[in-house]
Structure 1
Amino acid sequence: MEVNSIKDAFDRVSKKQKVSSSKSQETIEQINQEIQQALSGIQAATNSEHNLILAGLKAKLKEIAPLGQLETTQKEQNVAFSKYIKLLEKNFNPDISKAYRNVDFDLHTVNQIVASHFYREGLFDIGDSFVNECHEESIVERKTHFLEMYKILESMKTRDLGPAIKWATANHENLQNNGSDIELKLHRLQFFEILQHGRTEEALKYIQTHISPFGDQHLPVIQKLMGCLVYVKKLNSSPYSHLLSPNHWAKLAHELVQQFCIIVGESYKSPLGVTIAAGLQGLPTLLKLANVMSGKKQEWQSMKQLPVPVDLDKDFQFHSIFVCPVSRDQASENNPPMLMSCGHVLCKQSITKLTKNNITRPFKCPYCPTEVEMVQCKQLHF
């Protein structure tokens, strides 16, 4: 795919559109100017001169030929746009079914994934309709979890931290095991809500009751909160004004969703959404592979491993992988990555081929002049 040629074609269309818009606006302004001059002339002239002025306006409009100018610029734009469409059709195959691979899906699992996606996104009515249509009652428990989560988030939008604090208190041990301090952050926000209303004594009592138990591990945080009490009437201009930023609410809501999903055993991101997003990125490579394989009269769908790498963003890399730079094979239990004495890494099968199955036979590293022996190679564990 010639990305540069597509970009150049797009730039040409964009340029034509700007030129067309500019010329059209110029023509309209010219016509408006002539009409305004004619109206001014009519208002200042006698009745006998009106026809003469209108005749002059008609002659000027004929000379300008607005329709001809507009048609010319529009025609040039349409030609450029038509070429761009043809270029897209040439480089992008609209028949994405070629990248489809026959896989036996478990319908029950697929239904659960789809229904869970609706509930995860807060689309509870749609989720209920889908569950009723496919008779997947076992998914209702997930709905209960996400319903609780969205009620907490809705309360946070109105600055009501009660439900969030109640949930964090009930899951205190789980949050500690996860290394999360979200419970303290919620109490800190609640403290500022009290303090911003000028209720100093209530804010101090809140620290003593709800925040002081975290003092063993978060003493600097408590010290800052105590310092805020001095500036109760001018918090916005105090050294602690950054703690009042609305960004803290957004970040805390984001963290709450993450911790909530971990505790109820759900992934933070929708599996369906991640799968579709990854598929969209990999689709061009799969379509190109399907076209190449069909030209060679080979069936790529029967392959256990794709012959080409599918590059995806780091967001889709959930565990470390290693692809041998020599064989282009992805490392596996039977073909693990091996660290050579020179510091370079190859898969075990590639090293075996280089030694010709002789573990004591030295071989040259493909990437540096170092002589390496297989017995010196160490297996890497990711």
Structure 2
Amino acid sequence: MESFIKDYDKIIKKQRTLETNDPLDRLIAVVNEAKEKIRADPSSVTSSLAVLGKSIKTVSNGILEEQKEIQSSLSKYSKAIDKKFTADMMAAINPHAFDHKENILRSTIAMHFIRQGNFEIGDTFAKETGLTVPDSMRHQFMEMFDIVAALKEDNLEPALQWATRHRSGLEKRSSTLEFKLHRQRYLQLLMGRQVQEAIAYARKNFAYFGNRHTQEIFRLMCSIIYMDHIKTSPYADLMAPNTNADIQHMFTRDFCSLIGLSCDSPLYVSVTVGTQAMPTMIKMASIMKAKKTEWSQQQELPVEINLTDDTKFHSIFACPVSKEQATEENPPMMMGCGHVICKESLQKLCRGSSNLRFKCPYCPQESMASQAKNVYF
């Protein structure tokens, strides 16, 4: 990678050289110089234009040479990257992954447009592919984007009204959105030097949250003392510049949660996960190709893919006996001793008989398949 970094630095250096010595500025200077000569001595038009033509040609040739140099550097850099990274991404792609699943893919794309606020594009795509986007879903996301747009303009009222209407649902999810909105509104009044209005607002709205946010409410009320220089006070964190963006994200997350959806669209998550998994998949494919082997399992990958926390949505159980990931057809089963293995492993241990006693693979206790219970994560 060091060689790539050096080549990249060379390109950046040449680009900066061009920026400091702007070719257009040089051409303008040549033209202005000719104009001044003609203005000072109108009889020198012919000679001045001849000199101007030569000067323009000289500057143009210089510009072309400079451009050739930077283009040559870019071309060499691109070829070096292509030569170094020769991974064949097609080897890690299953061309039949979406066979007979076209409607699912189209629906996912249409819903992605809706969830991004591109309602017109989403409706057009759905119409052209013969899909029907539920009006209720469309109206819900239209409401969400209207509220987000208001938050971007520091208008908290629509979000406060929504949070008040959905207070019970937010509390079930231990969300602090409603309090954060009231907190932000209080600070808006305080920064607008509407001290009495801020105190009245706090008395009206903070009492409901007193048991859960006592310390924070104390800090909010004490911050009035430092109103004139709060940014250099012990309460400067109350005026963090990213507070509004955090509230927008929190609102979007809670809004989607209340209608049973994740904060990010399935298409975005799928692309993100695919990008994270691609290097591992390419390496796996190259090893299998070299060894002339094929992966026979259809429901799981032969390697572990490390994903970020925001792309993990449910627990995964891998059988300690077979080392295979549990599926709906092969669910995890808890034996009488409390240890858990997959159903297929359990059937092998009991040899197909539900009343045959067998020893647990992890403790001395004996169990029977009839005693085993399904485990749900």
The TM-score, its normalising length taken from structure 1, stands at: 0.66
Please show how residues 116-265 of structure 1 align to structure 2 within 5 Å.
116-265=111-260
Q: CA shift at 1:155, angstroms? A: 0.9
C-alpha distance in 1 between matches for 2:214 and 2:81? 63
Does structure 2 conserve the Cα–Cα contact (< 8 Å) formed by 1:23 and 1:73?
no
Please show how residues 26-105 of structure 1 align to structure 2 within 5 Å.
77=73, 80-81=76-77, 83-88=79-84, 91-93=86-88, 95=90, 98-105=93-100
C-alpha distance in 2 between matches for 1:236 and 1:74? 47
Q: CA shift at 1:288, angstroms? A: 4.6
Q: CA shift at 1:293, angstroms? A: 5.0
Q: Secondary structure at the match of 1:303?
A: coil
Q: Secondary structure at the match of 1:101?
A: coil
**Aligned match for 2:4, one of 2, 5, 10:** 10
C-alpha distance in 1 between matches for 2:123 and 2:360? 66
Does structure 1 conserve the Cα–Cα contact (< 8 Å) formed by 2:360 and 2:366?
no
Q: Secondary structure at the match of 1:375?
A: coil
Does structure 2 conserve the Cα–Cα contact (< 8 Å) formed by 1:115 and 1:139?
no
Q: What is the CA deviation profile of residues 348-380 of structure 1, one whole-angstrom value per residue up to 9, with x for unaligned ones?
A: 759x99xxx98489xxxxxxxxxxx64269999
Between 231-240 and 15-24, report the one with greater CA deviation.
15-24
Match of 1:54 in 2: none
Letter in 2 for 1:14: Y
**Aligned match for 2:277, one of 272, 279, 282:** 282
Does structure 2 conserve the Cα–Cα contact (< 8 Å) formed by 1:212 and 1:222?
no
Q: What is the CA deviation profile of residues 282-320 of structure 1, one whole-angstrom value per residue up to 9, with x for unaligned ones?
A: 234434545555677766577343333334334333233
C-alpha distance in 2 between matches for 1:315 and 1:207? 35
Unaligned runs of 5+ in 1: 1-6, 33-60, 362-372
Q: What is the CA deviation profile of residues 208-237 of structure 1, one whole-angstrom value per residue up to 9, with x for unaligned ones?
A: 222222223323233223323444444444
Letter in 1 for 2:8: S
Relative to structure 1, the CA distance from residue 172 to residue 312 in structure 2 (aligned partners, 3 Å threshold; closer, same or farther) is: closer
C-alpha distance in 1 between matches for 2:3 and 2:321? 38
Does structure 2 conserve the Cα–Cα contact (< 8 Å) formed by 1:99 and 1:286?
no
**RMSD, aligned CA:** 4.8
Q: Secondary structure at the match of 2:143?
A: helix
Letter in 2 for 1:198: R
How many residues get paired?
Answer: 324
Letter in 2 for 1:159: D
Relative to structure 1, the CA distance from residue 337 to residue 311 in structure 2 (aligned partners, 3 Å threshold; closer, same or farther) is: farther
Percent identical residues:
29
**Aligned match for 2:364, one of 375, 378, 382:** 375
Unaligned runs of 5+ in 2: 27-57, 350-356
Between 175-184 and 292-301, report the one with greater CA deviation.
292-301
C-alpha distance in 2 between matches for 1:173 and 1:272? 30
Q: CA shift at 1:14, angstroms? A: 2.8
Match of 2:304 in 1: 309
Relative to structure 1, the CA distance from residue 102 to residue 201 in structure 2 (aligned partners, 3 Å threshold; closer, same or farther) is: closer
C-alpha distance in 1 between matches for 2:244 and 2:17? 49
C-alpha distance in 2 between matches for 1:75 and 1:113? 41
C-alpha distance in 1 between matches for 2:313 and 2:222? 42
Does structure 1 conserve the Cα–Cα contact (< 8 Å) formed by 2:186 and 2:198?
yes
C-alpha distance in 1 between matches for 2:184 and 2:16? 53
Q: Secondary structure at the match of 2:237?
A: helix
Q: Secondary structure at the match of 1:81?
A: helix
Match of 1:45 in 2: none
Between 114-123 and 252-261, report the one with greater CA deviation.
114-123
